[in-house]
Every structure is written in C-alpha cells, then in structure tokens.
Amino acid sequence: ALPPPHGFSVQCYSETLEAQQRHRLHVQQALRGATERGEMSLAFQPKLRLVDQRITGAEALLRWHHPELGQISPGMFIPLAEASGDIFAIGEWVLEEAMRTIADWRQQGVLGDNFHIAVNVAARQLARKDFAEGLLCQLAARRIPARFLAIEVTESGLMSDMQNARQQLAQLTQANIAVAIDDFGTGHSSLAYIKTLPFSTLKIDRAFVMDLEECDVDRQLARTITQLAHSVGCNVVAEGIETAPQAMYLRRIGCETAQGYYFSRPLPANEFTHWCDNWHPHLPSTTTETV
Ligand code: C2E
Ligand code: MG
Ligand code: MG
Ligand code: MG
C-alpha cells in the first residue's frame, strides 16, 4: 500500500496530539477537589516474604473514579498532580486514609505486629520542610506506632532538593518508618539516591522482572541490584511478579520480598482482608526451579 500523503498524516498526528492535550487539561481540572468529592480510594496489594510466603504488608495504591472520565490511572494523573501542586492535598488524603486503614485493621485484628502499609510519596512532598514532622504528628494523634507505616519514594521528575529530602527521610527512619526507593533502576531513581538518601529498602522495578524468564541480561541485573542493596545493608522488594518462575528466581538470588499479580492484584480494603484470610503459600519448592 502507498504511504498516506504527507499532509494527511501530519493532520492526523496534530489532531491526536491536540486531543491528548485537551484530555490532559480536562483531567488536570477534574483533579482539583477530587478527594473532597469522594472520587478517590485506596487499593491494597500484598507484599510477601519469599522464603515462606508470609504476608508482611501491603502497598496502598491510589484509585480515582471520575463520574464522566471514568477510571483514571495514577500513572497518568500523579505526574499532572505533581506539576500542578495538587499532589500536596492528594498526598495528605492518601496518608490519612492509609492511617485510618491501619487503625481499622489493628482493631479488627487483621494487622499482625509485623505488618505495614506502604504509602507512595512523591518527591515534591519531600521538598516540604515539615513533611516528616506532620506525618509523625498524625501518627501520634491516632496512637499508631510508626512501624506500621512505610514510605515508598517515587518520582516522575528530578528531585530538586536532595538535602531536604535526606533530612525528611532521616527523621522518618529514626522514628522506625521503613523507607523504600521505588522503581529502582529506571527513570530518575538513580544511584545518586543510594549515595544521599537514608533508606532501608530498595524496590526493583517491574521492568527488570517482566522478562526474567527470557532475558539473561535482566536476570543479571536483578541479581546485581539485589547484591548492591544487600551490600549497603538494605532489603529488596521486587514488584510486578506475574509468574512462579519469576518469583522462584528472585527467591533464589536472595530478594526478600515479592509483590505482583502472581500473588494478587491491588484490592479494595475489604477484599484485601478477605484475601489474607484465605491465603495459602503455593510457590513450588526450589527443586522444580526452571530459570
Ligand atoms: P508503583 O509505586 O511502582 O506501583 C506499582 C504499580 O504496578 C501499580 O500500578 C500496580 O498496580 C502495578 N502492578 C503491581 N503488580 C503488577 C504486576 O504483576 N504486573 C503489572 N503489569 N503491574 C503490576 P498503579 O496502581 O497503576 O500505580 C502506578 C504508579 O502511580 C505507582 O507505581 C506510583 O508511582 C504511582 N502512585 C500510585 N498511588 C500513588 C499515591 O498514592 N501517591 C503517589 N505519589 N504516587 C502513587
Ligand atoms: Mg510504589
Ligand atoms: Mg514501584
Ligand atoms: Mg513501578
């Protein structure tokens, strides 16, 4: 077939680009006040210790359902919220909701003593001088021991004030809050973080997990990242595990904790507790390992 005339393809391209920009603008406007209107909720994805597949915690992931726009993924709206500054109000809401859930689950006896809820925190939130203090006050007001909460530092842009971020995170780790560097090895989550930020956990990005079975380079990278984390005294979590062989390979290289659709998708709070009640370890033992 002949390629489309030049003018035609350019016009199509600019139309889709324009539509995309219109959609982004629409989303950005809809985002303001979304928490107050009750459009946001949290989903919880279990984290499991690979040696015995015991549930050690859950990551809280933001869900947004807009009455007209429908379900919008955080991968799309979080960067917009970071750019507009709405991330501060949204981040506050996420922390409050996570703490409310911790209190609930402790009361119901769902939350064992070694269980935590991890909340994603954008780099921009850490730029605030009173972030850690505010968070610790909220915990104290609710009488929640700090160890029940964990933080995952995510970011879509460059961290502008590493020194302040370091101070904020140091305050949190001193209070016994586990700090993870999220999506390690991709985008802006770089080696400079390891050098500067106080953290206890490194999260291997899904990008290194998804092709473990086919790709020897990815296996070496996952192994090297795990060794790197251990060499600086940190734990490793792998995200995005979708198959048993992936989980088994990560277990073999010493990665402590696993998370992914293979175990469970992120679930609403009530479904999560139900899932925990019915959870039985099912990962095959090492003798049948294939990767
Ligand atoms: P993240 O923190 O790296 O979270 C992991 C993402 O991978 C989640 O996407 C999760 O649903 C997805 N995931 C988990 N297991 C699997 C799997 O086995 N396969 C595949 N394909 N995906 C899996 P989600 O919920 O769409 O969140 C995307 C990103 O948005 C998060 O990446 C995080 O950076 C950001 N985000 C989510 N909630 C919040 C929040 O409350 N605050 C901030 N600042 N960022 C958030
Ligand atoms: Mg995360
Ligand atoms: Mg991640
Ligand atoms: Mg990720």
Atom 16 of ligand 1, nearest CA residue: 240
| Best probe residue, ligand 1, of 61, 62, 71, 72 (max atoms within 8 Å of C-beta) | 61
Single-letter amino acid, residue 285: S
Judged by its nearest atom, the ligand closest to the C-alpha of residue 186 is 4
| Best probe residue, ligand 1, of 120, 128, 183, 205 (max atoms within 8 Å of C-beta) | 120
Atom 46 of ligand 1, nearest CA residue: 120
101 lines ligand 1 (CB under 6 A): no
78 lines ligand 1 (CB under 6 A): yes
In three-state secondary structure terms, 258 is: strand
82 lines ligand 1 (CB under 6 A): no
pLDDT per residue over 18-75, tens digit each?
898 998 999 999 999 999 999 999 999 999 999 999 999 999 999 999 999 999 999 9
What is the structure's pLDDT at 1? 53
What is the structure's pLDDT at 12? 60
Å from CA of 262 to ligand 3 middle: 16
CB atoms within 10 A of CB 206: 16
Residues in the chain: 291
CB atoms within 10 A of CB 273: 19
Å from CA of 198 to ligand 2 middle: 17
Alpha-carbon distance of 117 to 47, in angstroms, equals: 10
Instruction: Write the DSSP symbol of residue 25.
Output: H
76 lines ligand 1 (CB under 6 A): no
What is the structure's pLDDT at 100? 97
9 lines ligand 1 (CB under 6 A): no
46 lines ligand 1 (CB under 6 A): no
In three-state secondary structure terms, 124 is: helix
73 lines ligand 1 (CB under 6 A): yes
Single-letter amino acid, residue 50: L
247 lines ligand 1 (CB under 6 A): no
Alpha-carbon distance of 262 to 234, in angstroms, equals: 24
Give the ligand 1 atom nearest the CA of 42: 41
Give the ligand 1 atom nearest the CA of 259: 15
Å from CA of 6 to ligand 4 middle: 38
The ranges of the chain with pLDDT < 70 are 1-14, 156-158, 189, 287-291
ipTM: 0.98
Q: At what angle do helices 216-231 and 244-252 cross, to 10 degrees?
A: 40
29 lines ligand 1 (CB under 6 A): no
